[in-house]
Structure 1
Amino acid sequence: KREDAEFLFVIEDIENNHICGTSTIIAQHGTQKAPHFYFAITKVEKYSKTLHSGFIHEILRLQTDEHGPTEIGGLVVEPAYRNVPQKLGKQLSFIRFLYIGTHRDNFQDRILAELQPPLSHEGKSLFWEALGRKFVNLDYKEADMLSKKNKEFILALFPHEDIYISLLPAEARGVIGRINEETQPVKHMLEKIGFKYLNQIDPFDGGPHYGALTNEVAPIQNTQKTKIASGSLTTEGKAGLIAVEKPNLPFRAVLGTFLTQNNEAVLDPTTMKTLNLEIGDPVMLLPY
């Protein structure tokens, strides 16, 4: 079932037989059993005829979605493998788009990315301390972990009335919709390929939600299925992700070089050997 489907991708250092990063796809984040909760940020205008003045206020409004979008997340690269020429973070990110693009019927028409906001050195959320903690007698990490298993307490305890952002402490207002420094490259990448800020935030930590229509995400549009042709890369090929999915074998992919012509593809020898491919085998491609 789509509502229960989750996909975990791992990247492996083959020479050292070591997993050094992960990323995930949740096929549908938000179901009848486990709704997707978020704060929508909207504006209301107040005006006094007597004073001839008014204000435009931003408010938080708790929303639920039982037919939620596909969510991408879980992007983690071990510190020792960051900032390497192979750009492992990009590979882990784009492999999800390749998989969605070549298994399109398994995913929703909307796609979501929840970005990490700034937290204190102790892992505390200033937004949670100013708002959520007033209604839920748990610290941020406890509430976050519980929400992954049971979301009932959010619906039962969180306020359903509009919350005026101006009434929150300045330090809490300052993190609404913000992201931490480590997440900045992810934000730029998402914006480059078609994601936009949705004016929605995480109800626990105030982190921003970015989204797009699935079919309008550039890497998903650029994925293709083809077959391997004979030949060699006599001219400079394209760099990108090359994936294979054979019966009784897991989905596998590498960063390689290929050249497409006549609805077929010529691959570099290293990729052919690593993925144990032969002429005529079906492959999935995503050029960078």
Structure 2
Amino acid sequence: MLVLRTVQPTDLPQLQRLARESLVGVTSLPDDSARLRDRILDSCSSLQQNIESPGPQNYFFVLEDQTNRRLAGCSEIVATTGSSEPFYSLRNRPFTSASRELNIKHGVPALSLCQDLNGHSLLRGFHIDTALVRTPHSELLSRARLLFIAAHAQRFADAVISEIVGFSSDDGHSPFWDAVGKHFFDLPYVEAEHLCGLKSRTFLAHLMPQYPIYVSMLPQAAQDCIGRVHPDGQEAFDILAREGFETNSYVDLFDGGPTLYARTLDIRSIAQSQIAQVITGESIDARGRYLVSNVSLEDYRAIVADLDYRAGQPVALDYGMCQALQVSEGSTIRLIAL
């Protein structure tokens, strides 16, 4: 059985393996032991804090195969962007110029460096083994974070965003980066993303142009990348889109990938998930497949389970499910249909 759980310091070696396998552009999963260790320890510390309002905390989760203790994926939530350093993105909106004498008014799409998305909760770091792509366990890895937010709402902002990796070629070539960022850094896209993962995007953003970049003046290949999803990032996009997330006028600083946005209380797994009490049983007449989580903080866990769920009634879990979730008779769980 695959179980999503909170990260532990002993997960570091396996997280390094996942980082090496992750998609270029997932800067929140750097292939660097020191940075990963800091991320793990920050998560452990965040889970131990008594939080009444969101701040700089991060919550790191791993997907573990219980049979061999192998990690098959990871994902993360940042409670509030901009708490520890500015959160930069590019705003893609028309820049309007007008001439009263000529009776001309014209809008030209332009990209402007901004910090508009400070103060939102951020879903990031989604990575799953290739063999599990487009399976229920991809849903588990992404959506269990939303069940965690539902269980601990005071720790998160009123809106949630997620940056989806933008287009780059198989050899790590990004037309958007070549047309924009490379002129200010003289670095290949892969190296710039690597530096962002090791340090932060802040020092790179400081070198970006402070004036609007007119989209029509960019090469067509770069224009075509604005808001375009990398093929390997499409599943992460699709899962959140089904949750009610929508694209907006913001794109990633480096590759032009889209940013998804949703009001927290409108997200499907938050708005529609149900609370139920556990009863234990040896056999279950399953009628549907669900994402199921406990409501713990430090020992948060979630699984995919076939259940017989009826609204307002206790839910029967077998021994293996109870062990995976670390719950027992009478415990509270949260669940939502896949």
* Interval containing the TM-score (normalised by the shorter chain): 0.7 to 0.9
Whether 1:190 and 2:279 are equivalent positions in the alignment is: no
Please say if 1:259 is aligned against 2:300: no
Q: Which residue of 1 aligns with 2:125?
A: 74
Residues 38-187 of structure 1 aligned to structure 2 (within 5 Å):
38-46=89-97, 55-65=106-116, 67-83=118-134, 86-148=135-197, 149-187=199-237
CA distance in 1, matches of 2:226, 2:249: 10
- C-alpha separation in 2, matches of 1:287 and 1:193: 12
Q: 1:133-187 CA distances to partner (integer Å, 9 max, x unpaired)?
A: 1112333233333334244434532111111111111111111110122222332
Structure 1 length-normalised TM: 0.86
Partner SS, residue 321 of structure 2: helix
The answer as to 2:61 corresponding to 1:9 is yes
Instruction: Kindly provide the amino acid, as one letter, of the partner of residue 120 in structure 1.
Output: S
Task: After TM superposition, give the deviation of residue 36 of structure 1 in Å.
Answer: 0.8
Structure 2: where are the runs of 5+ without partners?
1-45, 47-53
User: Within 5 A, what are the aligned runs for 1:228-247?
Assistant: 228-229=278-279, 236-244=286-294
The match for 1:35 is 86
CA distance in 2, matches of 1:7, 1:64: 22
Asked if 1:25 is matched to 2:74, the reply is no
Structure 2 counterpart of 1:6, one-letter code: N
**Aligned 1:210-225 pairs, distance under 5 A:** 210-225=260-275
Once structures 1 and 2 are overlaid, which stretch shifts more, 260-269 or 275-284? 260-269
Q: Percent identity?
A: 27
48-57 or 92-101: bigger deviation = 48-57
Number of residues paired by the alignment? 284
What's the counterpart of residue 199 of structure 1?
Answer: 249
Which one has the bigger strand percentage? Answer: 1
Render the CA deviation track for 1:36-69: whole Å, top value 9, x for unaligned. Answer: 1011111134456787766431011111147421
SS at match of 1:199: strand
Q: Which residue of 2 aligns with 1:280?
A: 330
Partner amino acid, structure 2, of 1:89? S
Is 2:321 the counterpart of 1:271? Answer: yes
TM-superposed CA distance for 1:96, in Å, is 0.7
Does structure 2 conserve the Cα–Cα contact (< 8 Å) formed by 1:46 and 1:56?
A: yes
How far apart in 1 are the matches of 2:170 and 2:284? Answer: 53
**Structure with higher helix content:** 2
**Residue 99 of structure 1: CA displacement?**
0.6
Q: Does the C-alpha gap of structure 1 residues 258 and 8 become closer, same or farther in structure 2, counting only changes over 3 Å?
A: farther
Max radius of gyration: which structure? 1
1:233–1:175 CA distance, 2 compared to 1 (3 A): same
AA matched with 1:35: P
